[in-house]
């Protein structure tokens, strides 16, 4: 048979089984197998129909079922009809049960679900990078949450942490000399979180930042006078925005992020 016919059955999309079959078929000069994929098989009736067609085509059957009853039924039916078959997932799952001494979830399509979550997380991370530090105010209206506050209130670390939770976070620094973007005032106040901090802690953080950059720690950026002015200005803007305000003084990023997630959920 120059072009073997293979029926691929799955309780999900069937991509895994099809890739395995194609990889195997490519090792033969008579490759170019005809693959008939039958996705979302959830009952015995669908198995019967697929096996019936496979018999007419003198085909081989490959399947990836996580539900034991469907696997066992398909095996018995293939044996009854004298069809060659390959249980791609079953043996691997049985060995994992043996070595882990745990029962699987038996949830079809779980790998695709995990893949979807992974890509959502990557998308959120890319969003956080693109709209960090007010670089592009157009992203504010697309964000799940917008963080505002003076410099060194953990806006960027919080944005990245939230991105790993699949939350698209943008952040805007509040600086007295720079007028906030008009887009910020178009965002739903429930989607904005203001970050404030003790002036004394901010003073210490900024001094350490300057030293890390090889600069003198008594520069204007770290002076108490400057810090008090910035914090007063930031609170004025937050009042105009009518947004929730969180005090990040002595708070870990995880703790503040948890409170932000709660605000998003309740909003």
Distance CA 88, CA 105 (A): 17
The predicted-structure confidence for 157-170, as pLDDT tens digits, reads as follows 999 999 999 999 99
Distance CA 30, CA 2 (A): 5
Give the residue among 90, 93, 100, 82 at the shortest CA–CA distance from 10. Answer: 90
Distance CA 147, CA 170 (A): 6
Cα angle 252-258-261, degrees, rounded to a multiple of 5: 140
Give the phi and the psi of residue 101 in degrees, each rounded to 5.
60, 35
| pTM of the entire predicted model | 0.62
Question: How far is residue 3 CA from its own chain's centroid?
Answer: 40
> Where does residue 21 rank: exposed (0-12), middle (13-18), buried (19+ CB within 10 A)?
buried
Q: What is the pLDDT of residue 45?
A: 94
**Residue 103: which residues within 8 A CB-CB, separation 6 or more?**
97
In sequence order, what are the beta bridge partners of 196? 247
149 a known binding residue?
Answer: yes
150 a known binding residue?
Answer: yes
Domains in the chain, ordered, with CATH? 5-108 (3.40.50), 116-266 (3.40.50)
Give the phi and the psi of residue 246 in degrees, each rounded to 5.
-115, 135
Q: What is the pLDDT of residue 27?
A: 84
Q: Under a CB-based contact definition with an 8 Å cutoff, are residues 104 and 66 in contact? A: yes
How many angstroms separate the most distant Cα atoms in the chain?
86
153 a known binding residue?
Answer: yes
Q: What is the pLDDT of residue 113?
A: 63
154 a known binding residue?
Answer: yes
71 a known binding residue?
Answer: no
Query: Which tokens sit at 256?
Result: 């503040």
Question: What are the pLDDT tens digits along the chain (267 aa)?
Answer: 568 899 999 988 888 888 899 888 888 865 578 999 999 998 999 999 999 999 999 999 999 998 889 999 999 999 999 999 999 988 988 898 889 998 877 776 666 666 677 788 889 999 999 999 999 999 999 999 999 999 999 999 999 999 999 999 999 999 999 999 999 999 999 999 999 999 999 999 999 989 888 887 668 899 999 999 999 999 999 999 999 999 999 999 999 999 999 999 997
- In three-state form (DSSP H/G/I as H, E/B as E, the rest C), the secondary structure along the chain is CCCCEEEEEECCCCHHHHHHHHHHHCCCCCCCCEEEEECCCCCHHHHHHHHHHHHHCCCEEEEECCCHHHHHHHHHHHHHCCCCEEECCHHHHHHHHHHHCCCCCCCCCHHHHHHHHHHHHHHHHHHHHHCHHHCCHHHHHHCCEEEEECCCCCHHHHHHHHHCCCCCEEEEECECCECCCHHHHHCCHHHEEEEECCHHHHHHHHHHHHHHCCCCCCCHHHCHHHHHHHHHHHHHHHHHHCCCEEECCCCCHHHHHHHHHHHHHHC
């Amino acid at each position: 048979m120059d072009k073997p016919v293979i029926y691929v059955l799955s309780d999900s999309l069937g991509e895994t089984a099809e890739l395995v079959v194609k990889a195997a078929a490519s090792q033969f000069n008579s490759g170019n197998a005809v693959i008939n994929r039958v996705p979302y098989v959830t009952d015995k009736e669908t198995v019967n129909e697929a096996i019936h067609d496979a018999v007419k085509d003198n085909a081989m059957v490959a399947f990836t079922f996580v539900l034991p009853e469907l696997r066992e039924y398909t095996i018995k039916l293939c044996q009854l009809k004298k069809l060659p078959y390959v249980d791609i997932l079953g043996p691997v799952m049985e060995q994992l049960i043996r070595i882990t001494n745990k029962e699987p979830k038996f949830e079809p399509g779980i790998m695709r679900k995990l893949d979807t979550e992974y890509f959502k997380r990557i998308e959120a991370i890319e969003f956080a990078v693109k709209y960090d530090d007010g670089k592009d105010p157009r992203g504010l209206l697309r964000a799940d949450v917008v963080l505002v506050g003076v410099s060194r209130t953990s806006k960027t670390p919080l944005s990245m942490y939230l991105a790993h939770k699949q939350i698209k976070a943008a952040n805007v620094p509040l600086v007295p000399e720079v007028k906030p973007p008009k887009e910020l005032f178009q965002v739903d106040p429930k989607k904005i979180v203001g970050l404030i901090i003790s002036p004394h802690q901010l003073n210490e953080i900024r001094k350490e930042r300057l030293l890390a950059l090889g600069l003198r720690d008594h520069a204007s950026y770290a002076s108490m006078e400057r810090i008090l002015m910035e914090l007063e200005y930031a609170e004025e803007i937050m009042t105009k925005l009518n947004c929730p305000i969180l005090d990040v003084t002595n708070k870990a990023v995880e703790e503040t992020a948890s409170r932000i997630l709660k605000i998003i959920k309740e909003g």
